[in-house]
Amino acid sequence: MSGLRGRDFLTVTDFTQEELQEILDFAQELKADRKRGKHAPLLQGKTLGMIFHKASTRTRVSFEVGMVQLGGYALFLNGADLQSGRGEPIKDTARVLSRYVDGIMIRTFDHADVEELAAYADVPIINGLTDFLHPCQAMTDLMTILEHKGTLAGLKLTYVGDGNNMAHSLLLACSKLGMNVTIASPQGYQPLPDIVQAATMDAGKHGTTIEVTTDPVHAVKGADVLYTDVWASMGQEAEHQQRLQVFQPYQLNAALLAQAAKDAIVLHCLPAHRGEEITEDVLEGTQSVVFAQAENRLHVQKAIMALLL
């Protein structure tokens, strides 16, 4: 029995390097099985509740399809339609849903709400994105890098743009797996110091480096992996216009890409805003692997569900 059974997946910091590696290995196995048309019914008869307080394409579809491929069933629960949308406490929702389903995936705003859900639920809680973290995406990104580069340890990932949930989860996940991480963000939009500190501690164990800078050109020098994400995340729509100005020098375009390693790959968690954080030519270019990356959400989350539920 895996040591992951029954655990929550709120942040990669709760897992050892070996446990994260176990998830990645299993995801690759499940992907290979699927390519051979094999679907082991590892979650036969099990049900996943999926609570969404924000929009989603990839997360919703990949969790739901993944659950079906594993022989289980997934319920889409629109946050606005639940009684919690009318004030029922999270702690009550947690205990009620725990009596019906075998696991809960939640996408919401406040990370503390996910922690409260996990504290009161008897079933594993999976973080499908909060304002603070997006751990399933970061695991997917590691899998994608591993597939395209053959290794993780010692590689350099540079993230250019907003120091948001994606930047946080990449810092935590990549540092744990022995990668160097550089973040280039404008002043006032850099990742939280606690996250940078946690990543730096992990980097210390591997002899790798974590760097946060305001200089995108310096940041991408020698990068094996370039990553960007939207400049205005879900919930920040009112700041969109102002952010367009602030982030303009951080656009991932051909000129910036040319400063990275020749064989660098380009990742983006999607959805992408072409002409904002990334240009059309880079997103659709030969170095971009964003759709292979999107596919891997399915395989990684199947591994997470099959190991936890």
Q: Which of residues 260-289 bind ligand CP (CB under 6 A)?
A: 269-270
Q: Which is nearer to ligand NVA, 230 or 282 (CB)?
A: 230
Contact window for ligand CP (CB under 6 A) among 20-28, 53-61, 117-125, 148-156: 53-61
Our answer to whether residue 107 is catalytic in this structure is yes
Asked about 269 being catalytic, the answer comes back as yes
Q: With respect to ligand NVA, which residue has the nearer C-beta, 166 or 198?
A: 166
229 binds, among ligand CP, ligand NVA, none (CB under 5 to 8 A by kind): ligand NVA
By CB under 6 A, residue 78 contacts ligand CP: no
Give the whole-angstrom CA distance, residue 187 versus residue 191: 10
The listed partner (ligand NVA, ligand CP, none) that binds 164, CB under 5 to 8 Å by sort, is ligand NVA
- Decide: is 168 part of the binding site for ligand CP (CB under 6 A): no
The entry of ligand NVA, ligand CP, none near residue 257 (CB within 5 to 8 angstroms by kind) is none
- The edge-to-edge listing of strands for the beta sheet with 156-160 is 210-213, 180-184, 156-160, 225-228, 265-268
Burial of residue 17 (CB within 10 Å: 0-12, 13-18, 19+) is middle
Q: Which residues bind ligand NVA (CB under 6 A)?
A: 129, 134, 164-166, 229-230, 233-234, 269
Q: Say which of 58, 107, 111, 168 is annotated catalytic.
A: 107
CB of 212 to ligand CP, least distance (A): 23
Shortest Å distance, C-beta 57 to ligand CP: 4
